[in-house]
Amino acid sequence: MSKYVKNLISNEIQNRLEGVEDAIVVNVIGMDSESTFKLRKLLREKNLNILVVKRSLASRATDESPLRVLFGEKQGSVAVVWGGEDFVSLAKEIAAITKEDEFEKFELKGGVMDGDALDAEQVLAVSKWPNRQEQIAMLVGQIMGPGANLVAQLVGPAGQLAGQVKQLVESKEGEA
Protein backbone atom coordinates (compact mmCIF):
# COMPACT_ATOMS: atom_id res chain seq x y z
CA MET A 1 0.00 0.00 0.00
CA SER A 2 1.44 3.35 -1.01
CA LYS A 3 2.12 6.10 1.50
CA TYR A 4 -0.53 8.28 -0.16
CA VAL A 5 -3.23 5.61 0.31
CA LYS A 6 -2.12 5.00 3.90
CA ASN A 7 -2.45 8.73 4.62
CA LEU A 8 -5.92 8.82 3.06
CA ILE A 9 -7.09 5.87 5.16
CA SER A 10 -5.47 7.30 8.30
CA ASN A 11 -7.22 10.63 7.73
CA GLU A 12 -10.57 8.85 7.28
CA ILE A 13 -10.06 6.89 10.51
CA GLN A 14 -9.02 10.08 12.30
CA ASN A 15 -12.18 11.85 11.09
CA ARG A 16 -14.42 8.95 12.19
CA LEU A 17 -12.82 8.79 15.65
CA GLU A 18 -12.64 12.54 16.19
CA GLY A 19 -13.96 13.47 19.63
CA VAL A 20 -13.98 9.85 20.85
CA GLU A 21 -12.17 9.50 24.15
CA ASP A 22 -13.50 6.14 25.44
CA ALA A 23 -13.70 3.01 23.31
CA ILE A 24 -13.45 -0.75 23.41
CA VAL A 25 -11.44 -2.97 21.07
CA VAL A 26 -12.93 -6.30 20.02
CA ASN A 27 -11.98 -9.06 17.62
CA VAL A 28 -14.57 -9.97 14.99
CA ILE A 29 -12.29 -12.11 12.82
CA GLY A 30 -13.92 -15.43 12.02
CA MET A 31 -17.50 -14.22 12.19
CA ASP A 32 -19.60 -15.04 9.14
CA SER A 33 -21.42 -12.32 7.23
CA GLU A 34 -24.81 -13.10 8.79
CA SER A 35 -23.46 -12.80 12.34
CA THR A 36 -21.59 -9.63 11.42
CA PHE A 37 -24.78 -8.12 9.99
CA LYS A 38 -26.74 -9.03 13.14
CA LEU A 39 -23.97 -7.63 15.34
CA ARG A 40 -23.84 -4.33 13.46
CA LYS A 41 -27.64 -4.07 13.55
CA LEU A 42 -27.68 -4.76 17.31
CA LEU A 43 -25.01 -2.12 17.92
CA ARG A 44 -26.84 0.41 15.72
CA GLU A 45 -30.05 -0.12 17.71
CA LYS A 46 -28.14 0.64 20.90
CA ASN A 47 -26.58 3.78 19.37
CA LEU A 48 -23.10 2.26 19.29
CA ASN A 49 -20.58 2.55 16.45
CA ILE A 50 -18.15 -0.07 15.20
CA LEU A 51 -15.19 0.37 12.89
CA VAL A 52 -12.87 -2.42 11.74
CA VAL A 53 -9.36 -1.05 11.28
CA LYS A 54 -5.83 -2.21 10.72
CA ARG A 55 -3.90 -1.51 13.92
CA SER A 56 -0.96 0.21 12.26
CA LEU A 57 -3.21 2.62 10.36
CA ALA A 58 -5.35 3.27 13.43
CA SER A 59 -2.23 3.88 15.47
CA ARG A 60 -1.10 6.46 12.94
CA ALA A 61 -4.57 8.07 12.88
CA THR A 62 -4.90 8.32 16.67
CA ASP A 63 -1.37 9.54 17.34
CA GLU A 64 -2.54 12.68 19.15
CA SER A 65 -5.65 11.20 20.79
CA PRO A 66 -6.35 9.30 24.02
CA LEU A 67 -7.22 6.25 21.88
CA ARG A 68 -3.55 5.80 20.95
CA VAL A 69 -3.07 3.22 23.74
CA LEU A 70 -5.57 0.87 22.05
CA PHE A 71 -3.38 0.23 19.05
CA GLY A 72 -0.02 -0.55 20.66
CA GLU A 73 2.54 -3.00 19.39
CA LYS A 74 0.12 -5.67 18.16
CA GLN A 75 -0.50 -6.40 14.49
CA GLY A 76 -3.60 -7.26 12.52
CA SER A 77 -7.14 -5.98 12.35
CA VAL A 78 -9.45 -5.11 15.22
CA ALA A 79 -12.83 -3.52 15.60
CA VAL A 80 -13.23 -0.34 17.64
CA VAL A 81 -16.60 0.12 19.37
CA TRP A 82 -17.63 3.47 20.82
CA GLY A 83 -20.73 5.45 21.67
CA GLY A 84 -23.55 5.10 24.13
CA GLU A 85 -24.31 7.26 27.11
CA ASP A 86 -21.08 6.54 28.98
CA PHE A 87 -18.22 4.04 29.06
CA VAL A 88 -19.91 1.85 31.68
CA SER A 89 -23.00 1.47 29.48
CA LEU A 90 -20.76 0.63 26.53
CA ALA A 91 -18.90 -1.97 28.61
CA LYS A 92 -22.22 -3.49 29.78
CA GLU A 93 -23.43 -3.87 26.18
CA ILE A 94 -20.17 -5.41 24.98
CA ALA A 95 -20.08 -7.80 27.96
CA ALA A 96 -23.64 -8.89 27.16
CA ILE A 97 -22.71 -9.54 23.52
CA THR A 98 -19.69 -11.65 24.48
CA LYS A 99 -22.00 -13.95 26.48
CA GLU A 100 -24.37 -14.60 23.56
CA ASP A 101 -23.94 -17.91 21.75
CA GLU A 102 -24.83 -16.29 18.44
CA PHE A 103 -21.63 -14.21 18.54
CA GLU A 104 -19.18 -16.83 19.79
CA LYS A 105 -16.31 -15.48 17.64
CA PHE A 106 -16.83 -11.98 19.09
CA GLU A 107 -13.94 -11.45 21.50
CA LEU A 108 -13.27 -8.57 23.87
CA LYS A 109 -9.65 -7.41 23.68
CA GLY A 110 -9.51 -4.28 25.85
CA GLY A 111 -10.44 -0.66 25.97
CA VAL A 112 -9.54 2.85 26.97
CA MET A 113 -11.35 4.88 29.62
CA ASP A 114 -10.28 8.43 30.50
CA GLY A 115 -7.01 7.89 28.64
CA ASP A 116 -6.10 4.74 30.60
CA ALA A 117 -5.69 1.42 28.84
CA LEU A 118 -7.79 -1.47 30.15
CA ASP A 119 -7.41 -5.15 29.40
CA ALA A 120 -10.41 -7.44 28.78
CA GLU A 121 -10.80 -8.38 32.46
CA GLN A 122 -10.78 -4.75 33.54
CA VAL A 123 -13.45 -3.87 30.95
CA LEU A 124 -15.60 -6.73 32.27
CA ALA A 125 -15.08 -5.41 35.81
CA VAL A 126 -16.17 -1.92 34.69
CA SER A 127 -19.29 -3.44 33.13
CA LYS A 128 -20.45 -4.36 36.64
CA TRP A 129 -20.32 -0.74 37.84
CA PRO A 130 -23.52 1.33 37.92
CA ASN A 131 -23.96 3.37 34.75
CA ARG A 132 -24.90 7.05 34.64
CA GLN A 133 -28.66 6.46 34.93
CA GLU A 134 -28.21 4.07 37.87
CA GLN A 135 -25.91 6.56 39.63
CA ILE A 136 -28.46 9.35 39.18
CA ALA A 137 -31.20 7.11 40.58
CA MET A 138 -29.07 6.27 43.62
CA LEU A 139 -28.27 9.95 44.16
CA VAL A 140 -31.92 10.97 43.90
CA GLY A 141 -32.84 8.22 46.37
CA GLN A 142 -30.22 9.48 48.81
CA ILE A 143 -31.45 13.05 48.45
CA MET A 144 -35.12 12.10 48.78
CA GLY A 145 -34.61 9.76 51.76
CA PRO A 146 -34.25 12.38 54.51
CA GLY A 147 -37.09 14.44 53.04
CA ALA A 148 -39.39 11.42 53.02
CA ASN A 149 -38.50 10.70 56.65
CA LEU A 150 -39.25 14.31 57.61
CA VAL A 151 -42.62 14.24 55.83
CA ALA A 152 -43.51 10.95 57.54
CA GLN A 153 -42.64 12.43 60.93
CA LEU A 154 -44.76 15.50 60.26
CA VAL A 155 -47.72 13.66 58.75
CA GLY A 156 -47.84 10.89 61.39
CA PRO A 157 -48.80 13.06 64.39
CA ALA A 158 -50.99 15.26 62.19
CA GLY A 159 -52.89 12.16 61.05
CA GLN A 160 -53.44 11.09 64.65
CA LEU A 161 -54.68 14.55 65.56
CA ALA A 162 -57.02 14.60 62.56
CA GLY A 163 -58.40 11.19 63.58
CA GLN A 164 -59.08 12.41 67.12
CA VAL A 165 -60.82 15.56 65.82
CA LYS A 166 -62.95 13.43 63.52
CA GLN A 167 -64.00 11.17 66.43
CA LEU A 168 -64.85 14.22 68.54
CA VAL A 169 -66.96 15.71 65.72
CA GLU A 170 -68.78 12.41 65.21
CA SER A 171 -69.51 12.07 68.95
CA LYS A 172 -70.85 15.63 69.10
CA GLU A 173 -73.09 14.95 66.08
CA GLY A 174 -74.37 11.80 67.80
CA GLU A 175 -75.33 13.79 70.90
CA ALA A 176 -77.13 16.48 68.93
167 and 91 within one domain: no
173 and 96 within one domain: no
| 16 vs 18: CA distance, rounded Å | 6
Contacts of 34 (CB under 8 A, 6+ apart): none
Domain count, the chain: 2
- Domain holding 150, by residue range, is 136-176
105 and 63 within one domain: yes
pLDDT in tens, 36-65: 999 999 999 999 999 999 988 888 888 888
104 and 19 within one domain: yes
176 and 140 within one domain: yes
pLDDT in tens, 59-115: 888 888 888 888 876 678 889 999 988 899 999 999 999 998 888 888 999 999 988
7 and 63 within one domain: yes
